[in-house]
Amino acid sequence: MEHTNTLRQFKQRVEESNKQKTKKQKRQDKINKLSSLDKHWKGLEHIDHSQLNEDIAGLNKAYMKFRSLYQSGRKFSCKEWIEVMGELLDEID
């Protein structure tokens, strides 16, 4: 008796997996899988935010410099671009 239930459940799972799922169903399946396993959440959710010290002024200054460089449309070589990004990252620290 127990064997037939297991077989029936197996058949149902196979039938469900063979059906074409819509994008909405696939997305919901991914969300359900992620929400059920804590090991998938390695980001900022598990960090103590009270100990984060952000330099807002430096971040804003770096953003404004990057924005002005982007809007200028100037072309950079790879070496120049690395130097510019290095300077911007130094401002954030």
In angstroms, what CA-CA distances link 57 with 47, 53, 54, 83, 89? 23, 12, 9, 21, 13
Would the pLDDT of 69 be above 70?
A: yes
> Which DSSP symbol is given to 85?
H
pLDDT for the residue 81: 92
User: Looking at residues 60-89, what average pLDDT do you find?
Assistant: 91
pLDDT for the residue 46: 63
CA–CA gap between residue 67 and residue 74 (Å, rounded): 12
Confirm if 84 and 76 have CB atoms less than 8 A apart.
Answer: yes
**Residue type at 23 in one-letter notation:** K
pLDDT for the residue 47: 65
Q: Please provide residue 5's backbone torsions phi and psi, each rounded to the nearest 5 degrees.
A: -65, -40
User: Looking at residues 53-76, what average pLDDT do you find?
Assistant: 87
**pLDDT tens per residue across span 6-63:** 888 888 787 777 667 788 888 888 888 777 776 666 665 666 666 667 677 888 888 9
